[in-house]
Amino acid sequence: MTTANVEVRSHGNTVEILLTGEIDLSNSDVVKEKVFASIDNHLLAVTIDLAGLSYIDSAGLRILFALAERLRLLQTTCTVIAPPGTPTRRVLEMSGMAAVAQVKP
């Protein structure tokens, strides 16, 4: 089983979620549970930092797309941080993540 870490940093009405390690089918349910537990109806913005993520497969992408849709319904800004040139950034670009969330830098 692969390992993924979820760290949540609350800053008033914003939340920063740092995902590190690897996200795949074997751990995606646990990651999704932790990520969604950090979201409430009163947030103005959520940032998902993937800079420390070394691998993400389609199960991980489903988490990100589901989160982006939930935040859209809550009228909460969603920003995904993925450094250019990393495998994670390439996966996000190929998946069309930029259509549902702001992808930086």
List, for residues 62-72, the tens digit of each pLDDT value: 999 999 999 99
One-letter amino acid for residue 71 of the chain? L
Provide the residue range defining the domain that includes 11.
4-104
Tell the residue number behind the tokens 């609350």, with chain if given.
10
Q: How far apart are CA 103 and CA 25, in angstroms?
A: 23
The answer, yes or no, to whether residue 1 has pLDDT greater than 70, is no
In 3-state terms the chain splits into helix, strand, coil percentages (rounded to 5) of: 35, 35, 30
| Domains: count for the chain | 1
Report the pLDDT averaged over residues 24-51. Answer: 96
List, for residues 41-81, the tens digit of each pLDDT value: 899 999 999 999 999 999 999 999 999 999 999 999 999 99
